[in-house]
Amino acid sequence: MSKSKMKLIMESWRSFLSEADDKQETRNTAGNVVAQGIIAAKLENKDFLIKQRDEFIKNNEEYTAVPDDKLHITLLHQNLGKQLKTDGLAFADLSNSKIAKEIRSYKFPNIETVTFEKDIYVAAAGGKKSVYVKVDSSSNTKLEDYIVKHFVEQYNQKNPDKTIKPEDFKKARNTIEEGKRIFHVSLANTGTGKPGESVALVHVEGVSKKL
């Protein structure tokens, strides 16, 4: 076999291995859900997000990385309870601080595997600018169903005489979050990297674009 033919075979093999590695790259993770103002999923596997964030930062010096331990998926806005009260649907006898305290006591099961897309998006709104990756469409549906089901269950267990329906939750959520949330992880922002300096409602029309 000639050297030139062997070289072509080896180059083809290396290309095959590289493509296989790309296909096998895991972009899946599970998460531990906590209520701490917002309701958030703390991710178990963040390696692929950290790698993607760091590669982006290298070529975009205006951005500051969100710290590794702050990478999370926000499942629900912190003012959902207040909105339910405003709508006359729940928490009628509680002050805002007691509403927040009750929601922090809710126990949410861990989230099983969610999958992220590879594309990075940039969002700009309210003087903030950040970049993020979003979960894929099936995972977005899974998280949507998850937060509706478990928030309503937790509220109704605490308030058996004044229960709410999933429709009540969705109405309040869509008001406070200006529509249906796109679940995502913010990787970096043009502030100091604090999560609160990233754009939260990336689904609002005109806020986001793919890089």
Q: Is the pLDDT of residue 1 over 80?
A: no
Confidence bin at 37 (pLDDT 50/70/90): confident
Model confidence over 82-92: pLDDT tens digits? 999 999 999 99
Q: Is the pLDDT of residue 108 over 60?
A: yes
Residue 205, burial from CB neighbour count under 10 angstroms (0-12, 13-18, 19+):
exposed
Q: Is the pLDDT of residue 10 over 70?
A: no
Q: For a pLDDT cut of 90, what percent of the chain falls above it?
A: 78
Q: Is the pLDDT of residue 128 over 80?
A: yes
Model confidence over 152-204: pLDDT tens digits? 999 999 999 999 999 999 999 999 999 889 999 999 999 999 999 999 999 99
* Listed residue (33, 27, 32) closest to 51, CA to CA: 27
Contacts for 46 with CB less than 8 Å, ≥ 6 apart: 29, 68, 71
pLDDT of amino acid 7: 52
Query: How large is the average pLDDT for residues 138-157?
Result: 96
User: Mean pLDDT in the chain?
Assistant: 89
Mean pLDDT lowest among 13-22, 32-41, 69-78, 174-183: 13-22
Instruction: Give the domain ranges of the chain.
Output: 27-210
Q: Is the pLDDT of residue 21 over 60?
A: no
Confidence bin at 58 (pLDDT 50/70/90): very high
